[in-house]
Every structure is written in structure tokens, then in C-alpha cells.
Amino acid sequence: MAEGTFVTTINCMDGRTQQPVADWMKQQFGADYVDTITEPGADKALTEAPDWQIESIKSRVMISVNGHGSRVVSIVGHDDCAGNPVSKEKHQDMTRRAVEVVKSWGLPVRIIGIWLEENRQVEVIVDTGE
């Protein structure tokens, strides 16, 4: 097991989303490190991608959970997403469904769906730990 505490985020590949989400995750959960799994339009990838792509995401989450001891996984939807150019409402719906996908994996983790606003502020959409 790795030293330090880890959390995991399934985030968009968009470089504007990485740091604000990592900072928020560290602050919210007192983590030392954030394992970041990226896909263009991560919320869409978990809800509409082919099975092989979802399995790839799952295998990377498993490394974080089993290898680093992560106990929190977030799924990120964000404003102005080139990989999933849909409305905020559609992103939030996909993020809720993406949380259900990750939940179906049966991992011992808290799962959070978040929306990253244009101003890079985090809004929690769904939290299985509440």
C-alpha cells in the first residue's frame, strides 16, 4: 500500500479541470494525493462509451482503490466541455448516472458526482456518503 492518503477522480482530459478538482478533493477529504483518471467527457464516457472503454476506466479505479487505498471516487462534469458539448442539465444527469455505474462495481468507496462551474468552483450533485 502506498504511503499517504489517496482519493480518486474520474475527470475530463480538459486541463482546466485538473487542478481545481484536485485541490477541492484534497481539501474536502484531507488527502495527500489525487489519482486522476482522465477521459474526454468523463460523464459521457461512463454512461455512453463502449464496454471496453468503461472497463478501462474501471481497471484504473481498481488500481487506485486496491493499490493506493483510495476510499473516495469523484466523477466530474464541467462547463464548456469539448468532449461532451451538452447543457449543464444534461451533464448533471449524465453525472448522476455515472455515479450509479461506478456504484455498480461494488467498491468500498464513497462516490461523489460533481459539477465544475465556469469559475472553477465545485458543486456537489450527488454524494453516496450522505
| Closest C-alpha among 71, 82, 65 to residue 17 | 82
Residue 1 in this model has a pLDDT that exceeds 80: no
Residue 104 in this model has a pLDDT that exceeds 90: yes
Strands 6-12 vs 72-78: parallel, antiparallel or unpaired: parallel
Concatenated DSSP letters of 54-65: HHHHHHHHHIII
CATH architecture of 6-127: 3-Layer(aba) Sandwich (3.40)
Residue 99 in this model has a pLDDT that exceeds 80: yes
Residue 130 in this model has a pLDDT that exceeds 90: no
Q: Which residue has the cell 482546466?
A: 16
Quote the CA–CA distance of 45 and 118 in Å, as a whole number: 21
Model pLDDT, residue 3: 82
Q: Give residue limits of the domains in the chain.
A: 6-127
**Arithmetic mean of pLDDT, 25-35:** 97
Distance (Å) of CA 127 to CA 1, 5, 47, 85, 123: 26, 20, 18, 24, 11
**Band (2; pLDDT cuts 50, 70, 90):** low
Residue 69 in this model has a pLDDT that exceeds 80: yes
